[in-house]
Amino acid sequence: MPPSMRWSSVIPSPQTCAKQICPNAHLRAFSSSTRSNAGRTTRQRRLMFQWLDSQGAAFRDPLPGSTNYLTAYDNHGVLKRVKMARGSDTSSKPADEQIDGDELSTLGAKSNDSEEADEASNNTKTGGDENRLPPEGRGDRRPFPHNKSFYSEPVLSEEFREEIWRRIMKDGMSVREVSATTGVEMRRVGAVVRLKEMEKAWLSSGTPLARPYAQAVMSMLPQTQWNTRLDARRPHEPINSLPVHEATTLQIFEPTSESRHFTREDAARAFDENLLSTDERIPHPEMVAKEKDLLAGLPAELVAKRARAREDAEIEAKQKQQDRIAKKEAAIKKVDTGRWQFRIQEVKVDDAGVDGRGPRGTGWRYGTPLMDRSRGQIKIPTRVD
């Protein structure tokens, strides 16, 4: 069938056509086709932009001097803590309990109940004096309204990281010591120093740092500030946490006599033959030992001396272990060709076992399949040294 006839008077002129399809076409210097659904505004889309212009407007830009999460606002887009402050202007919060004692024991003792108390200290960064925001609470630091267990925990401030680096690299303190005195986990202390070293290398080689990004991100996150005053210092995180061992997740019935002095060691042994007790599984057993000495009423010099002796013993044990590893490594004959390092070791044929398929056997063995071509084998590296 031939196409239907069209009268020229019916066909609109190109100009009017363009105007109808895209009202803003005359504003552009070039011609372009618009997306098919660009002009389509569904009800949901309209509602979303309504929300973004009203309640959601607060999230567009960061809140100066504070975090800016969904849970900090009520349904009308008003900061909950501002509303609270307006409601109870006259009543003031009771001051946090004072803490005293020496650096190490203070932080250790406070690590358990610090979670609720550390809010005020973490909120040293505030806006201008005239329209100062009330300090944010832990409840304001939940990014997800429905997940009541996830909080945006404070990160170490730049100054704090610098202080940790200085203590390790300049003062020559041990990681364990720095962790105990600053209230930062040992693994984190190591990571901070490692990253800081890299940062210093970048600085000295003239590689530009991502400063604007770092400043913006740090202003959006809650921070633990470094406090030079010892009594005002709070631990960054609990440093003496006990990992829940799989063997202890099952309830067991352990019959024992009433008169038995059933300690933590006995409890560990009841769960598993090889399970160590709590005192040995926590990251800082030396803090417990020191606390014991203090409770026993030993003089301060003796406590310090015993602590030093324990530290020396630990260093010696570590050195011994390293020596053992070095000796084992030295026993391997190495031939360096420049392109490859050959490592020549003694191998016993018997290692392959009676059936020749033992896991310690060396070389390709007849009848033993190579699994690397079979289905489901993960080919991506599992570690990078």
Q: Which of 136, 140, 163, 177 binds another protein (CB under 8 A)?
A: 163
User: 152 or 181: whose CB is closer to another protein?
Assistant: 152
Q: Which of 44, 274, 345, 377 binds another protein (CB under 8 A)?
A: 44
Interface positions, 320-359, toward another protein (CB under 8 A): none
**DSSP H/E element including 198:** helix 186-205
Q: Is 143 in the site for another protein (CB under 8 A)?
A: yes
Q: Is 54 in the site for another protein (CB under 8 A)?
A: no
Q: Is 278 in the site for another protein (CB under 8 A)?
A: yes
Tell how strand 333-336 and strand 341-344 pair up.
antiparallel
CA–CA dist 346, 351 (Å, integer):
11
User: 84 or 242: whose CB is closer to another protein?
Assistant: 242
Q: Is 130 in the site for another protein (CB under 8 A)?
A: no
User: 330 or 380: whose CB is closer to another protein?
Assistant: 380
Residue pair 234/110 in contact by the 8 Å Cβ criterion: yes
CA–CA dist 31, 78 (Å, integer):
44
Q: Is 123 in the site for another protein (CB under 8 A)?
A: no
Burial (Cβ within 10 Å: 0-12, 13-18, ≥19) of residue 278:
middle
User: 91 or 149: whose CB is closer to another protein?
Assistant: 149
> Can you tell me whether residue 334 is helix, strand or coil?
strand
Tell how strand 155-156 and strand 333-336 pair up.
unpaired
**DSSP H/E element including 342:** strand 341-344
Q: Is 151 in the site for another protein (CB under 8 A)?
A: yes
Which whole-number Å values give the CA distances from 37 to 21, 22, 43, 45, 303, in the listed order?
Answer: 12, 12, 14, 12, 76
Interface positions, 192-211, toward another protein (CB under 8 A): 192, 194-196, 198-199, 202-203, 205-211
Interface positions, 59-88, toward another protein (CB under 8 A): 59-64, 67-70
Dig out the tokens for 240 from the structure.
């003496």
Q: Which of 168, 275, 287, 303 binds another protein (CB under 8 A)?
A: 287
Which whole-number Å values give the CA distances from 285 to 108, 254, 281, in the listed order?
Answer: 11, 27, 8
Contacts with another protein, 226-255, as mask; x by CB under 8 A: --x--------xx-xxxxx-x---------
Dig out the tokens for 305 from the structure.
């001396």
Q: Is 179 in the site for another protein (CB under 8 A)?
A: no
